[in-house]
Structure 1
């Protein structure tokens, strides 16, 4: 099993120490970067780029929202799990659509934290029931602009099969095995899907697929 390189960004020393003690109990997860703000993170990324980061929202020097947007611009392959006390549905919807791959509350368990890290690394996203409900409510009650006419994204039957596998949280290898295709072919389909749907990452792909009713939930 590959070791997952993790970054932890939070301006509270005591909280970081608590998370670090939990991470030591998780096999094949290595903390390679620790930062106290978005600016601190960006400076350190010049030397090491983790696979996944745990990112707080409230930080004095460049908050988590601005950091997420900047990371999408500079490091689009870096996977972001928001780890915060903010429970607002609008905040969750905004950040997930802006490019975050997962969203956890700080009262989460060690077990869920580990699942979230591994799922985000392997599948590109992690939605628990709380986040899924918030996203669905956000999609249902969004009224800032009139609903757009649904587009025809011209997805092939094979792309739809891959998309369904992604939304069911199967890994690339598992989808490849189910469809009797190579991992490289599945990755190609995933890239094509993101291009056709105009999204930045796998989490955005799932959100857009549900939003546009391409995949039902």
Structure 2
């Protein structure tokens, strides 16, 4: 059985491009695209619960932080992969705190998206070296400033 994916991004072109890319992966199926967190919640309430949500952070009505937290509290079995152009430490840490199982930058290569999806499904999480570095920096800010 294929892993079901919902794509949540307010940029329609990005959502469609992601959807087309994911559909090419043998083990995955995009069941729908949503423009924001509120639209995703409405679909989930209609029993359209995906296995994985590819979630943008910056969106109108209900952003990625609120959406990830709602999923964590209401549907913890849904795995969230944050996908953003934002590489700021506080955004990465905030999304992971709110339940995201991984964080990818939108500038990543297509094979990295596949790697991330596979890792989240198989291991439950996906952290790039960049994300790991940001996490360590946020946990030990003084250590890295004074080596």
Give yes or no for TM over 0.5.
Answer: yes
Aligned to 1:109: 109
**Can you give the 5+ residue segments of structure 1 that lack an aligned partner in the other structure?**
143-217
Q: Deviations over 1:70-109 (max 9, x none)?
A: 1111111110000001111121112212211000000111
- Correspondences of 1:1-217 after superposition (within 5 Å): 2-46=1-45, 47-141=47-141
Q: Deviations over 1:31-56 (max 9, x none)?
A: 01211110100000122111111000
Asked which structure has the greater RCO (Cα within 8 Å, sep 6+), the reply is: 2
> Secondary structure of the equivalent of 2:80?
strand
**Alignment TM-score, normalising by the size of structure 1:** 0.63
Rounded Cα–Cα distance in structure 2 between residues aligned with 1:31 and 1:133: 31
Q: Deviations over 1:173-213 (max 9, x none)?
A: xxxxxxxxxxxxxxxxxxxxxxxxxxxxxxxxxxxxxxxxx
Greater Rg over alpha carbons, structure:
1
Maintained 8 Å contact 2:82/2:102: yes
Rounded Cα–Cα distance in structure 1 between residues aligned with 2:104 and 2:31: 20
Count, aligned residues: 141
